[in-house]
Amino acid sequence: MLKLENVTKTFGKIVALKDINFNIGDSEFVFITGASGAGKTTLLRLMLRELLPDSGKIELDKEDITKLPSKQIPRLRQKIGVVFQDFKVLGERTIKENVEVALAVIGLPKNDWEARVEHVLKLVGLTDRADLFPAQLSGGELQRVSLARALVVNPKIILADEPTGNLDWETADKLMDLFEKINSEGKSIIMATHNKLIIDKMNKRVIELKEGGVFSDSESKVKTKSEKGKK
Amino acid sequence: MNIHIKTAWDHVRRAPFQAMAAIFVLTITFFVITIITILGYSSSQVLKYFETRPQVITFLKDDITPEKISALQNKLEADNRVSEVSYISKEQALEIYKKATAGNPLLSELVSPSIFPASLEFSLVDLSYANDLIEEIKGEEIVDQVGFTASLGGEETLSDVVNRLRTFSNYIKIGGGAFALLLTSTSFLVLIVIIGMRMTSRRGEIEVLDLIGATPGFIRSPIIYEAIIYAITGVFIGWLIALLLVLYATPSLISYFGEIPVVPKDTLKLFGLFGLILGAEFLIGLFLAVSGSILAVLRVKRK
């Protein structure tokens, strides 16, 4: 479903990502891990077409998104659900409105909103918080709002950038259960995190980045040749 | 309610002072535009009134047959330099004289209809045709003399009065237009500044919307609707104040100016005129709102 081929991205003289290659299949749950500055967020931003690579191809459903014209970027993003470390909920809108805005973005008729919103709020356990404003919610709840907003458009793939970064262990653990449940329903999840506890607990595929390259990919269970050489 | 209109309305409610600043400026602008338009209309009407008053009086010889009079009247009516031709018989001329000398009955007692000549009175489409036309009519067989209405308000000729009015009317149109343009430009700049401030304060929200796949049109819509709310409110309040002012002043204006139509005496016509002004102002307001907000969005995006 998602395929990266020789993806390289630099910022001036800094090489953020270098010759990244991997495939992610349907319904797969993949952790992108690595130390701060390893390139995790850059990788996710490339997948969202927030950035363009210097070279290489990124294919989503066999469509090279690096060649998408600017006008088509919203269409690409509407297929992807995004969860951010800092939640990025809209502070002046209620929880329900925060979720509804994603439906408005994809242009779904208003008559169909109610059922979808109810479903996702129930899924993330926020039905009773629907009419509250973000300022009235805890960090864990806000992250669930962010997840509900990502899910409500029924995306094929969810990108999560350090979703547990601002949460305590217990809350993070509950959130990960939710991600697992969503994954079991057939959605692919690509999650950038450096939380070892979570990665160990979840026992999913892990792509480890180091100095802009793929250091290891648990799918292949081997370290890349270049990294072996360095060792 | 449409989600964009709801968002725009929420923004107006949540920053009432910015909204009030924008609406006040637009209100003043459109109040002044309405008043200037009415002044322009009034001056044109006054000008038209004087221009189209019976100006040329063709005194006819005695003992002329009605057929000949009718032929000349038809000829004048067919002339596109001439308007509002009317025949004044000897008896009607006496009545006019009696009215004019009502303060001194002795003067009217001494006269009979026979001493008044019948006449054809008409006005000119433009005063510049006067000399040529008068010369032409003097050559008509049935015409005795040709008179020209003069001496209004101490002016030497009607032409002077009309020229003065025309100058005054032009001053109103040019000066008023320049002032209206200045105010409109100020409103436009204020709208750009306020919308720019709104965009800056919504930067986080715009970033989120962009990341979840909102199109530029989706992101821009609430901003444009917000500017439209300001514009429509400002236009309507400014127009309404001007309307109330004119309605309040109309009885005094009508009694002061008498038959000179500075404002339409017919209520329906007055509201029709104001309706037209409101329609035009809505269009100007919409143009200001849409172009101002698009410009503000582009400026913030460039930063």
Tell me the pLDDT tens digit for each residue of A170-214.
888 888 988 998 899 889 999 999 888 889 888 899 999 988 888
Going B118 to B122 to B128 to B132, the CA torsion angle's sign is: negative
Question: Which pLDDT belongs to residue A226?
Answer: 46
What's residue B155's pLDDT? 42
What is the C-alpha to C-alpha distance for residues B154 and A143, in angstroms, rounded to an integer? 86
Residue A159 pLDDT > 60, yes or no?
yes
Interval A40-99: pLDDT, tens: 999 999 999 999 999 999 999 889 999 999 899 999 999 999 998 888 999 888 999 999
Residue B213 has its nearest CB partner, among A88, A89, A106, at A106
- Is the pLDDT at B302 greater than 80? The verdict is no
Say if A88 is an interface residue toward chain B (CB within 8 Å). Answer: yes
Whether A221 has a pLDDT exceeding 60, the answer reads no
| Residues B67, B140 within the same domain | yes
Report DSSP state, residue A5: E
Within a domain: B16: yes
Let me know if A12 is exposed, middle or buried by CB neighbors in 10 A (0-12, 13-18, 19+). Answer: exposed
Report yes or no: A68 at the B interface, CB cutoff 8 Å.
no
Residue B126 CA to residue B271 CA, distance in Å, equals 29
Examine the domain organization and report whether B37 and B78 are in the same domain: no
- Model pTM? 0.69
R_g of chain B computed on alpha carbons = 30
- Whether B301 contacts chain A with CB within 8 A: no
Report yes or no: B201 at the A interface, CB cutoff 8 Å.
Answer: no
Interface with B, mutate which of A50, A71, A88, A120 (most B CBs under 10 A): A88
Determine the residue among B14, B212, B220 to mutate to test chain A binding: the one whose Cβ has the most chain A Cβ atoms within 10 Å. Answer: B212
Whether B34 shows a pLDDT value over 50: the answer reads yes
Let me know if residue B204 belongs to a domain.
yes
Structural domains of chain B, count: 2
Q: Work out the pLDDT band at A230, boundaries 50, 70, 90.
A: very low
User: CA-to-CA distance for B223 and B244, rounded, in angstroms?
Assistant: 32
Q: Render pLDDT for A127-150 as a digit per residue (tens, 0 to 9).
A: 999 999 999 999 889 989 999 999
Please give the Cα distance from B92 to B281 (Å, whole number): 48
Residues B181 and B296 placed together within one structural domain of the fold: yes
Q: Which residues lie below 8 Å from residue B152, measured CB to CB, with a gap of 6+?
A: B50, B158, B161
φ/ψ of B49, rounded to 5, equals -60, -50
Q: Name the strands in the sheet holding B82-88, side by side, starting at the edge strand that comes first in the sequence.
A: B82-88, B119-124, B56-60, B143-148
> Could you tell me the residue range of the domain that residue B103 belongs to?
54-148
pLDDT band at B46 (very low <50, low <70, confident <90, very high): confident
Query: Does residue B218 share a domain with residue B124?
Result: no
How does residue A121 score in pLDDT terms, banded at 50, 70 and 90?
A: very high
Distances (CA, A) of A169 to A30, A165, A173, A196: 20, 10, 6, 12
Q: Are residues B37 and B94 in the same domain?
A: no
The answer to the question of residue B69 being in a domain is yes
Residues B297 and B214 reside in one and the same domain: yes
C-alpha torsion angle, residues B98, B99, B101, B105 (rounded to 10): 60
Q: B14 CB near a chain A CB, below 8 Å?
A: yes
Judged on CB neighbours under 10 Å (0-12, 13-18, 19+), A119 is middle
- Which residue from B10, B205, B214 is facing A74, i.e. has the nearest CB? B214
Do residue A77 and residue B10 have CB atoms under 8 angstroms apart? no
Distance CA(B260)–CA(B254), nearest Å, equals 8
| Residue ending a domain, choose from B117, B148, B179 | B148
Is B76 contained in some domain? yes
Which element (helix H / strand E) includes A29? strand A29-33
Cα separation, A113 vs A116, whole angstroms: 5
Which of residues B175 and B149 earns the better pLDDT score? B175
Q: Are residues B77 and B109 in the same domain?
A: yes
Q: Which of A46, A83, A90 to mutate to test the interface with B (most CBs of B within 10 A)?
A: A90
Q: B234 and B177 in one domain?
A: yes
Q: Which residue has the tokens 């057929």?
A: B67
Q: Is A104 in Cβ contact with B208 (below 8 Å)?
A: no
**CB within 8 Å: B3 and A100:** yes
Q: Is B208 on the interface with A (CB under 8 A)?
A: yes
Of B47-56, B171-180, B203-212, least confident by mean pLDDT is B47-56
Distance from CA of A73 to the nearest CA of B (A): 7
The domain boundary residue, chosen from B88, B114, B148: B148
In a domain, B154, yes or no: no
Which CATH number fits the domain that encloses residue B138? 3.30.70.3040
> Does the residue B153 lie in any domain?
no
pLDDT digits (tens, 9 = 90+) for B87-144: 998 888 888 888 878 777 777 777 777 788 889 988 887 777 777 888 888 888 889 8
Say whether B277 sits in a helix, a strand or coil.
helix
Residue B35 sits at the chain A interface (C-beta within 8 Å): no
Residue B13 placed within a domain: yes
Q: What is the largest CA-CA distance in chain A?
A: 59
Q: Is A90 on the interface with B (CB under 8 A)?
A: yes
- Which residues of chain B neighbour A79 with C-beta distances below 8 Å? 213
Q: Please name the residues between 119 and 158 in chain B that touch chain A, using a CB distance below 8 Å.
A: none
Does B235 lie in the same domain as B176? Answer: yes
A112 in contact with chain B, both atoms CB, cutoff 8 A? no
Predicted confidence band at B158 (pLDDT cuts at 50, 70, 90)?
Answer: low
| Selected residue of B205, B208, B221 to mutate for chain A interface (largest A Cβ count, 10 A) | B208
Same domain flag for B233 and B107:
no
Tell me: do B79 and B195 sit in the same domain: no
Report the first-to-last Cα separation within chain A, whole angstroms.
32
How far A83 CA lies from chain B's nearest CA (Å)?
10
The helices-and-strands tally (H runs, E runs) of chain A is 8, 11
Q: d(Cα B191, Cα B200) in Å, to the nearest integer?
A: 14
- Of B148, B168, B188, the domain-final residue: B148
- Ordered domains of chain A (ranges, CATH): 26-48+76-216 (3.40.50.300)
Q: What angle do CA A199, A166, A218 make, to 5 degrees?
A: 15
Task: Give contacts of A100 with chain B, Cβ < 8 Å.
Answer: 3
pLDDT exceeds 80 at position A30: yes
- CA A1 to chain CA centroid, Å, is 15
Predicted confidence band of residue A231 (pLDDT cuts 50, 70, 90): very low
Cα of first residue to Cα of last residue in chain B, in angstroms, is: 32
Q: If you average pLDDT over residues B231-246, what whole number do you get?
A: 95
Per-residue pLDDT, B13: 86
Report d(CA B5, CA B226) in Å as an integer: 8
Residue of chain A nearest B1, judged by CA positions: A110
Residues facing residue B120 across a β-bridge: B58, B87
CA of A16, closest CA in chain B: separation in Å? Answer: 21
CA angle A27-A30-A36, nearest 5°?
155
Identify whether residues B292 and B178 lie together within a single domain: yes
Angle between helical axes of B158-201 and B216-257 (0-180°, round to 10): 150
